[in-house]
Amino acid sequence: MDCRKVGALILNLRKEKNMTQKEVADRLNISDKTVSKWERGMGCPDVTLLGDLSNILGVNVEKILLGSLEEKETDGGNMKQIKFYVCKNCGNIITSTSETEISCCGKKLNSLVIQPQDEDHKITVTDIDNEYYVTIDHPMDKTHYVSFVAFVGFDRIVMIKLYPEQNAELYIPKMQRGKLYAYCSQHGFWEKKI
């Protein structure tokens, strides 16, 4: 760990948050001289403080240890590049419109790998007036079920959360072309173009 790089990052992040060294120090129950020492590269934060410092500054612990925030190239966040992430521990569902680093329950999440629908995961869409009626012939028990269905159009997403022991059927407002995605708790993520 390069204390000079870590200190420079802490200084920049603290200023972005419009906080004084004393405010950061008070929230960490340390002296403002300690924060000053870090920012001058004269020492690094103790590992026991990194979690709280991460929360205060709004940055991952890993980035503090690296001493840099690698900014990615701006890509506009296109809906065609939408990514879905699911936490295996708590079931949290997260989306992003471009590559990003996502973590939940202390673990990094990888974006779900999209598979074309197959015979075991067939999505049926019926056009009814201003809605799509979507059914999936799939088990819906506590260990094997469709967790969510999402329709992604060119400018919006509609996501419906499903739960075990209910039918895998739902209505989605009719939109222009898009893709329908469904996530199986055991077999992953698949799509159907509409």
Q: Is there a single domain that holds both residue 95 and residue 154?
A: yes
Confidence band of 87 (pLDDT split at 50, 70, 90): very high
pTM attached to this predicted model: 0.68
Secondary structure of the chain as H, E, C letters:
CCHHHHHHHHHHHHHHCCCCHHHHHHHHCCCHHHHHHHHCCCCCCCHHHHHHHHHHHCCCHHHHHHCCCCCCCCCCCCHHHCEEEECCCCCCEEEECCCCCEEECCEEECCCCEEECCHHHCEEEEEECCEEEEEECCCCCCCCCEEEEEEECCCCEEEEECCCCCCCEEEEECCCCCEEEEEECCCEEEEEEC
| Domain encompassing residue 121 | 79-193
Asked if residue 106 belongs to a domain, the reply is yes
Asked if residue 118 belongs to a domain, the reply is yes
List the CATH number of the domain containing 34.
1.10.260.40
Asked if residue 71 belongs to a domain, the reply is no
Q: Is there a single domain that holds both residue 54 and residue 86?
A: no
Q: Is there a single domain that holds both residue 86 and residue 176?
A: yes
Q: Is there a single domain that holds both residue 19 and residue 101?
A: no
Looking at the structure of the chain, the number of domains it has is 2
List the CATH number of the domain containing 166.
2.60.40.730
Of the two residues 47 and 80, the one the predictor is more confident about is: 47
Amino acid 72: pLDDT: 55
Rounded Cα distance, 43 and 6, in Å: 9
Q: What is the pLDDT of residues 21-76, one digit of tens each?
A: 999 999 999 999 999 999 999 999 998 999 899 899 988 888 888 887 776 555 55
